[in-house]
Structure 1
Amino acid sequence: MKAELIYVTDAYCIWCYGFEKAINQLAKEYAASVTIRVVNGGMIPSNLPLVDMFSRFPDPVALHQHVTVTSGQAFGKRYLREIKGYRTSKRILNSSTPARAMTAFKLLGVKDELGLASAIQRKYYLDGDDLQDVASYRSIASDFNVDFGAFKKEFNTPAAKQGVIEDRRFVEKLGVQGFPAVLLGTQDNRFTPIARGFMPFDGIKANLNTALARHFPDALAEMDGQMCGLDGKGC
């Protein structure tokens, strides 16, 4: 039986974007033993001007540079222009829109939740597109073999809107207050933290191994393959 990892993220969380490489590497290395469920955190639940988002930081550009140095994730030129000119930007942020887009894609059969989350974040942080504009999701629909007309229709359904609400309720249940966050669902229906905020891959891996050994020892056993032992007899 595979264990389930809960990955709580948000399209407008720059540290979640910085976390992309680490969470993708985790998914790859533990594909045989865990599944990953992506939950949208709802960091910005209503319309927020970009200027209000970044005016509380002494230097928004330096903040992004820090994310790049720490995580290795680059930001696109168009996006950085918007950040540099945030005081006069007309852009509005609202986490509900990209969360609803992700729900719509899932309702249309897309199973790769982590891939969807990454694609939406790259649309924003690399391409500099406005995630409040439904047209921004056209290329994502194409990449995941989804008809864009069907996506636009699904995006406006009650089911897509309800998915956003359910994610927020689940985040409240988990008690998560910041993003990114990774939790392991245990067999007694509890959740043990693996990462609170951005962490390098090695740190997440160590935490996950500890939690799996405690709650899912069989999952770690499934990762074992052919190896050579230190005694020279294992090949």
Structure 2
Amino acid sequence: MTDATVTYLFDPLCGWCYGATPMLDRLAASGITPTLLPTGLFSGAGARPMDAGFAAHAWDNDQRIERLSGQRFMQAYLDNVLNVRGTLLDSTAATLAITAAGLEDPRRRLSALKAIQHARYVDGRDIVTVDGVAGVLTDAGMADAAEMVKAPTDTLMTAHRELVGRGRALFQRLHANGVPSLAVVRNEAPRLIGANALFGSYDNLIAHIQAA
């Protein structure tokens, strides 16, 4: 693996990405720290209102994700997120928060992502507004990133556009059909590892990475 890098394509509002987080932790613990690239799946044109039909579809998927991954989707999330009408499924603020957290140290992107996911799926907190996601970052010990999100500089916005742009470009280059996805980049040639490998055994995931 010394000549390869592993890149993780995700969206912070993707339930399947939340389900894949334990595998990211295991990779990081073993010395394989993936580069996190958001794809902007649920931002911009991908944002959509939270209506009853989508909420029911999401909850059905979430129960499947919980069975496969052990990641919890709590009642607070159902009550305060899925069952609240008039809100948007929009990952713009959360993605900006992850960019801000990793501006000086990219390794903090994973910590920010995990804090945001836990806030939404376990605590049922708002992570689709700037104030909501800034509060999550502050509680996670990243007050510096929270302040940047509330008053974004040109530097942050440029970094955000670059990060999402890189994620979208790689997603398209790999012809990926969704997130989460892993890409193993060896000798500047990326190879796609589909989402299924993130929900099987860890040894199988490692075998996929080594074979890519």
CA change 1:162–1:53 in 2 (3 A) is farther
Task: Give the SS at the match of 2:17.
Answer: helix
**Of 139, 142, 148, the match for 2:136:** 139
Report the identity percentage: 22
User: What's the TM-score, normalizing by structure 1?
Assistant: 0.74
More helix by share: 2
The equivalent of 2:26 in structure 1 is: 25
Residue 126 (structure 2) pairs with residue 130 (structure 1): yes
Matches within 5 A, 1:33-112: 34-46=32-44, 47-51=47-51, 54=54, 57=57, 60-82=58-80, 85=83, 89-109=85-105, 111-112=107-108
CA change 1:24–1:150 in 2 (3 A) is same
- Cα root mean square deviation, aligned: 2.8
What amino acid is the match of 2:35?
Answer: R
Listed one character per residue, the Cα deviations across residues 36-86 of structure 1 (whole Å, up to 9, x for unaligned) are 1011122223331011771683xx433322221221111132211146636
CA contact (8 A) 2:40 2:91 kept: yes
Residue 173 (structure 2) pairs with residue 173 (structure 1): yes
Instruction: State how far apart, in whole Å, the 1-side matches of 2:78 and 2:5 are.
Output: 36
Q: CA deviation at 1:211?
A: 4.2
Task: Count residues with an aligned counterpart.
Answer: 205
Tell me, which stretches of 5 or more residues in structure 1 are unaligned? 216-235
CA contact (8 A) 2:21 2:114 kept: yes
Task: Give the SS at the match of 1:179.
Answer: coil
Instruction: State how far apart, in whole Å, the 1-side matches of 2:186 and 2:61 are.
Output: 36
- Deviating beyond 6 angstroms after TM superposition, the runs of 4 or more aligned structure 1 residues are none
Q: CA deviation at 1:109?
A: 3.7
Tell me, which stretches of 5 or more residues in structure 2 are unaligned? none
The equivalent of 1:232 in structure 2 is: none
